[in-house]
Chain A
């Protein structure tokens, strides 16, 4: 059992002694206040939806190839489907990282991750929610009981993090020339070609949104898995997580799509299509493996892959260095904040 901060004692007394417990048993179920820690997950899901929808539809929407409304509808539907049908594996992996189950530790983890994600976004540094969450889980785990941190699972997670950009790059390097040859071989007329690319962008965006839901829902609700109100009902958690991501897509993704999309706007329709397809495939493969990874890292890898095919000189190494530094600092900062919060309050 972990210490409860003294200032939370009245709250604990009001809602029952199990609420602040760090066991995995459902606690406080049915109580509105008892569900308060879930707000951390809602915040994280909202931030993830607002930010990561841009990785899927950003280029198409910001260059007005697809309407924002269409992107929101398709993004929301396919994120929910992906979360429901493919989201369970990642939740179990995150749970395996550290024995930090329980609503309040989960609250600390999600708030720490979301706060760092928000700060990094404000600083215009590339954001990886997955890395933030994993860093935060480890931070909280170390603060609460270092013996419960499962470093072997961390190895699997870090391998997946490295695999996401590399996988995105490799898939893009294969898809770009192959898809290009196929498109040229079809000898489509100017108008028909435009329409085919537009339809393909809609399909690939939906595919990317499915992959986003399948892989990233674990970031949002994985730390709550096993707790109240849904216990080990992965599908119920997935639906809740999917709904929060959808909330972010509906309410705040437009600005991010235009901001992020414009940094990729140099990509023509075909390159954007290859980037989104490569990202979606990478993320979906890693969802099957059961490791949540960032769609941001996968799409950066995919764009890098297209850059390599077009000639290494097209790659801005300074920007790449900035991106990689963001990937390294996000889990470290989230871990540090989570450690401090857990040490102080749990």
Chain B
């Protein structure tokens, strides 16, 4: 019975991790909105710190799951798969924190004409991570039924790709200095990478699910 309890504890902890990760991605969206509205203000710094704290909380939860795994609650092959999945999932909040920190430290000015599409890109990221969370919950609930949920993550990533390409083209079509163009394109790449990482994690979920099929 204790072993059964441990199993459900791991499942609960992974779900708690997903909640922390979701909060971090949402906090990064709010911080980004604040930056577009008020620039490198005090309010933005507070929100950027909130992102850092959320990312730290997600890290802590991930380590807690890893510690539980060492107690050999799951079969070794699955332990390895779950640890790899956690690593892939954790790349998403890490990248969110990285983007916000870069904007904060470099004080990058984002021209107003790109604000709408940048906000669209951030929304798509939040949606991709949300769908990824649903996918992982589905994996733990019924590994045989993950394909539709995984497809939704891919759709979000495709939408992010389209926005990214439009933005990069618009940036390089403008009459700005090459250095500024490259810096802006770098920020856009960083934001779009969040959806890419969510898609990578969803691919891993598919692999784990396929391995579970008898």
Assembly CA distance A192 to B11 (angstroms) = 10
Check if A191 sits within 8 Å of B76, measured CB to CB: no
Report, as a range, how many residues of chain B touch the other chain.
20 to 34
Check if B140 sits within 8 Å of A269, measured CB to CB: no
Interface hit among A73-81, A89-97, A140-148, A181-189: A181-189
Q: From B3, B76, B140, give the contact of A190 (CB < 8 A).
A: B140
Assembly CA distance A197 to B140 (angstroms) = 15
Check if B143 sits within 8 Å of A193, measured CB to CB: yes
- A-contacting residues, B133-160, CB 8 Å: 139-145
| Binary CB contact string for chain B from 71 to 98 against chain A (1 if under 8 A, 0 otherwise) | 0101111100010000000000000000
Check if A187 sits within 8 Å of B144, measured CB to CB: yes
Are A189 and B144 also in contact (CB < 8 A) when A179-B214, A270-B214 are?
Answer: no
Check if B142 sits within 8 Å of A269, measured CB to CB: no
Check if B77 sits within 8 Å of A268, measured CB to CB: yes
Check if B74 sits within 8 Å of A183, measured CB to CB: no
* Shortest Cβ gap from B190 to chain A (Å): 32
* Shortest Cβ gap from A278 to chain B (Å): 15
* Shortest Cβ gap from A180 to chain B (Å): 3
| Binary CB contact string for chain A from 160 to 199 against chain B (1 if under 8 A, 0 otherwise) | 0000000000000000000111011001111111110110
* Shortest Cβ gap from A66 to chain B (Å): 9
Are A195 and B4 also in contact (CB < 8 A) when A189-B11, A269-B77 are?
Answer: yes
Check if B7 sits within 8 Å of A63, measured CB to CB: no
Q: From A63, A181, A190, give the contact of B212 (CB < 8 A).
A: A190
Check if A190 sits within 8 Å of B78, measured CB to CB: yes
Check if A194 sits within 8 Å of B78, measured CB to CB: yes
Assembly CA distance A313 to B94 (angstroms) = 44
Say yes or no: is B10 at the interface (Cβ < 8 Å to chain A). yes
Say yes or no: is A318 at the interface (Cβ < 8 Å to chain B). no
Q: From A183, A192, A194, give the contact of B75 (CB < 8 A).
A: A194
Assembly CA distance A251 to B214 (angstroms) = 35
List the A residue with the shortest CB-CB distance to B144: A184
Say yes or no: is A124 at the interface (Cβ < 8 Å to chain B). no
Check if B214 sits within 8 Å of A184, measured CB to CB: yes
Check if A189 sits within 8 Å of B77, measured CB to CB: no
Query: Which B residues lie within 8 Å of A187 (CB)?
Result: 142, 144-145
Query: Which A residues lie within 8 Å of B8 (CB)?
Result: 191
Assembly CA distance A188 to B11 (angstroms) = 13
- A-contacting residues, B1-24, CB 8 Å: 3-4, 7-8, 10-11
* Shortest Cβ gap from A183 to chain B (Å): 5
Check if B142 sits within 8 Å of A189, measured CB to CB: yes
- A-contacting residues, B194-214, CB 8 Å: 208, 211-214
Check if B75 sits within 8 Å of A269, measured CB to CB: yes
Check if A64 sits within 8 Å of B214, measured CB to CB: no
Interface of A: prevailing SS: helix
Check if A195 sits within 8 Å of B7, measured CB to CB: yes
Check if A197 sits within 8 Å of B7, measured CB to CB: no
List the B residue with the shortest CB-CB distance to A66: B75
Check if B212 sits within 8 Å of A193, measured CB to CB: yes
Check if B75 sits within 8 Å of A191, measured CB to CB: no
Check if B143 sits within 8 Å of A190, measured CB to CB: yes
Say yes or no: is A236 at the interface (Cβ < 8 Å to chain B). no
Check if A192 sits within 8 Å of B212, measured CB to CB: no
Check if A192 sits within 8 Å of B7, measured CB to CB: yes
Say yes or no: is A323 at the interface (Cβ < 8 Å to chain B). no
- B-contacting residues, A46-82, CB 8 Å: 63-65
Assembly CA distance A309 to B68 (angstroms) = 37
| Binary CB contact string for chain A from 189 to 230 against chain B (1 if under 8 A, 0 otherwise) | 111111101100000000000000000000000000000000
List the B residue with the shortest CB-CB distance to A177: B214
Q: From B140, B141, B145, B211, give the contact of A268 (CB < 8 A).
A: B211
Query: Which B residues lie within 8 Å of A189 (CB)?
Result: 11, 140-143
Assembly CA distance A268 to B141 (angstroms) = 21
Query: Which B residues lie within 8 Å of A270 (CB)?
Result: 214
Query: Which A residues lie within 8 Å of B72 (CB)?
Result: 64
Assembly CA distance A268 to B77 (angstroms) = 9
List the A residue with the shortest CB-CB distance to B214: A180
Check if B140 sits within 8 Å of A191, measured CB to CB: yes
* Shortest Cβ gap from A275 to chain B (Å): 13
Assembly CA distance A290 to B87 (angstroms) = 55
Check if A184 sits within 8 Å of B7, measured CB to CB: no
List 29 interface pairs A-B (beta carbons < 8 Å), by A numbering: A63-B76, A63-B77, A65-B75, A179-B214, A180-B214, A184-B214, A188-B142, A189-B140, A189-B141, A190-B11, A190-B78, A190-B140, A190-B208, A191-B7, A191-B8, A191-B10, A191-B140, A192-B7, A193-B143, A194-B7, A194-B75, A195-B3, A195-B4, A195-B7, A195-B74, A268-B77, A268-B211, A269-B75, A270-B214
A64-B72, A64-B76, A195-B74 given; name 10 further pairs at CB < 8 Å. Answer: A180-B214, A189-B140, A190-B140, A191-B7, A191-B8, A191-B10, A192-B7, A194-B74, A194-B75, A268-B211
